[in-house]
Each structure stands twice: as C-alpha cells, then as structure tokens.
Amino acid sequence: MAESQKIHHFDVNDEVLESLVGYNLKRAYMIFQSDFRATLGETGITTRAFSVLSLIAQVTDITQSEISRRLGIERSGLVAIVDDLQEKGYTVRVPVPGDRRIQALSLTKEGKKAYNEAKQAIAIHEQNLLSDFNKKEVKQLLSLLKRLRKPEDSVT
Amino acid sequence: MAESQKIHHFDVNDEVLESLVGYNLKRAYMIFQSDFRATLGETGITTRAFSVLSLIAQVTDITQSEISRRLGIERSGLVAIVDDLQEKGYTVRVPVPGDRRIQALSLTKEGKKAYNEAKQAIAIHEQNLLSDFNKKEVKQLLSLLKRLRKPEDSVT
DNA sequence: TATTGTTATACTCTATAACTATA
DNA sequence: TATAGTTATAGAGTATAACAATA
C-alpha cells in the first residue's frame, strides 16, 4: 500500500480536474491563503482585514459601502472586520457632515504602523511563493488573473 | 456621493492589493466559485464533491486517504463529502480483502451519470468565464497556476 | 424609493486534535 | 509505531434577508 503511494506523481493525477481553470485556481489560492496565515497569523490580521486596511490606507475617509464594492465583500460581512480593526485600535469611524448615514474610515497611528509591517511581511511571503517566477512571468500571471475579473467588473 | 462612485474605474483601485498575486488569485477564484455554484447549485454538487467524484471516476477503488492526498483535503473533511455522495446514491464504499482498515470507493450507475452531466455543465461554465481567452492563453494560465503548486507537491 | 450601516442566520470550507481498529 | 477512517469542535468566509436611520 505504501509502495503504490510513492509511485503516483503529479502528472498521474486526474486529467479532468487538472484541465479545469477553476480547480487550478483553487489549489493555487489555497497555497497562498495558508502561507498568508502562517505569515500574519500571530498578528491576528486575516486576508480580508489586510485588504480593508490597505484600502483605507490608500483611500482616506472611504466608507464601508465603498470598500464593499471595491473588494467584492458584502456590506454585512464588513461590519465584523471593521469592528475588529477598531478594537485593535487600527481604524476609527468618523462622522461625515452632510450625510449622517455614513462614517468615514481612517487609520490611526498604530493602524499605519501595523499596515506597513504587514505589507512588508506579505512582500516576503509573495517572494517566497514566487521564487521560481521571473518578473515577466509574474506580470503575465497578474495580467491573466485580472482579465478573469474584468467581465464582472464591467457589469457593475 | 453616487457621482463619485461612477467615476471610480478598475484601474483606480488600490495599487498595493492589485500588485499582489494572492489577492488577484482570490478575486479570480471567487468568480469561478460563485459561477460554479450557480451552475451546479441545483444538483447539490459542491466544488469539493465534484473533485472527489471526478477522482473516483478516474481512479477506481481509490481510498479516502488517497483522495485526501491528491486533492489537498483533510481526511476528516472527506468523511462528510463521501457520506453525502453515498446518500445521493452516487458512490459506494467497498471493503478491501487484505486490509480491513480501508474501503475502496467506486461510482454507481447513477454516480457515473451525475458525474458526466456535471462535467458537461462545468465545461460550459468554464467556456463562459474564459470566453475572452484564446487556447494559448488558457494553456499559459494553467501552466502558471500549476507551477505555483509545484513547490508544495515536491515537499510531499 | 434608495442607500448606509447593522443584526441575525445558515452554510461551506478549513484546521486541529483525538479516538478506534487495524496493520 | 504508523495508517485509515471517523468524530467533534472551532474558526474563517460567504450569502441572504431584514431592519432602522437617513437621503
């Protein structure tokens, strides 16, 4: 039994699954996701929390609804993320004069620090996972992945 | 407020996130995942169930542990999937003479039919999502995604 | 009427540890 | 000791519907 396992190589796998973009996207995504957790797990920053943190860092005074649209996360799901970031002291909700429904999100000093540290850790994590890729290949991969998104974005 | 939303285009988004392979993998994966659900949702076949079904179809008498290794799914998580497939009448667990720990999985007639139908539906779903890609580009994308997996596979 | 933020709920997927029976 | 299947549990992430306040 143990013998037969060692005989099986990567290329012996199910050809149907291996030919599906969806399946290969998932496998690749899982590797990045688990390595991301191993990298930022101790900080308590999840993938979603980082993406929200990053968006607030780039677009000051952004609202939750706007984040929801840009990241493709439901508004309802955002509440817990922002609550958590606020508990950690990384972000604050500031009332906006003129529209009392919304609150502008911005980073605290600690939030900026945490974001920059996370950003650096992620850069290293991506470098590790992409060590076999040259710059051109990474660019190509990013380009192809973005094109997969385009149809959906244009619908919005 | 509504004005400012319409002004924002794809390329105005967070450059930090957009430059990350992990983030772009996730966004692309989510599109495939949700379209997959819309396609196979009524049948009750999830992405994971299909991958298990497919593996059993290719490798007759495969065990749960072997599926676990090949698909990168935990053994514990497999139990519920196989239980569900069995409830639907798609698969059966057959005792293996010589090793009473394991049970070989195989498809029933209904399982084969369900698998083939699902396979066709998925082919259309992939064609739709990849309508802007030519054959060479799909091949390139698959190749890049598989290379992202390779380091992990070789460790095993 | 539409939008913002929110609550509640359920479901999928994942991760971990531990157990049993077998080898 | 190691492996196969299993149970239990917890945590992310997602999806949906509904609500109050505000526009």
pLDDT score of B120: 93
Residue B154 binned pLDDT confidence (cut-offs 50, 70, 90) = very low
Q: Which one-letter amino acid corresponds to residue B79?
A: V
Question: Among all chains, which residue has been given the structure tokens 């650096």?
Answer: A120
Beta-sheet pairing, B91-95 with B103-107: antiparallel
- Which residues make Cβ contacts (< 8 Å) with residue A30, sequence separation at least 6? B72
Q: Is B120 (CB) below 7 Å from strand D?
A: no
**SS3 category, B93:** strand
Give the separation between CA A97 and CA A127, rounded to whole angstroms: 43
Do residues A16 and B58 make contact, with C-beta atoms less than 8 angstroms apart? yes
Give the separation between CA B10 and CA B145, rounded to whole angstroms: 23
Q: C10 C1' – A7 CA distance, angstroms? A: 42
DSSP class of A156: -
Residue B151 binned pLDDT confidence (cut-offs 50, 70, 90) = low
Q: Which chain C positions have some atom within 7 A of a protein CB?
A: 3-9, 12-18, 21-23
Q: What is the pLDDT of residues A20-75, one digit of tens each?
A: 999 999 999 999 999 999 898 888 899 999 999 999 999 999 999 999 999 999 99
Q: Is A54 on the interface with B (CB under 8 A)?
A: yes
Which percentage of chain B shows pLDDT scores above 70?
88
Q: Tokens standing for B62?
A: 């495969």
Please tell me the distance in Å from A53's CA to the nearest CA on chain B.
10
Q: D23 C1' – A74 CA distance, angstroms? A: 21
Please tell me the distance in Å from A99's CA to the nearest CA on chain B.
9
Q: Which residues of B38-68 are buried (b: 16+ CB within 10 A; e: fewer)?
A: ebbeeeebbbbbbbbbbbbbebeebbbebbb
pLDDT tops 90 at residue B11 = no
pTM here? 0.87
Q: What is the pLDDT of residues B61-72, one digit of tens each?
A: 999 999 999 999
pLDDT score of B8: 32
Do residues B109 and B88 make contact, with C-beta atoms less than 8 angstroms apart? no
Cα three-residue angle A71-A155-A102, rounded to 5 degrees: 45
Q: Which residues of B111-144 are buried (b: 16+ CB within 10 A; e: fewer)?
A: beebbeebeebbeebbeebbeebeeeeeebbbeb
Report which residue is nearest nucleotide C18 when distances run from CA to C1': B76
pLDDT score of B14: 77
Mean of pLDDT values over B1-19: 54
Q: D13 C1' – A48 CA distance, angstroms? A: 9
Q: B residues 121-150 near A, CB within 8 Å? A: 122, 125-126, 129-133, 137-138, 140-142, 144-150
- Which residues make Cβ contacts (< 8 Å) with residue B129, sequence separation at least 6? A21, A22, A148, A151, B31, B32, B35
Q: D11 C1' – A87 CA distance, angstroms? A: 19
> Which nt has its C1' nearest the CA of B100?
C22
Are B16 and A57 an interchain contact pair (Cβ–Cβ within 8 Å)? yes
Q: What is the pLDDT of residues B90-139, one digit of tens each?
A: 999 999 999 999 999 999 999 999 999 999 999 999 999 999 999 999 99
pLDDT score of B112: 95
Contacts of B135 in chain A (CB under 8 A): none
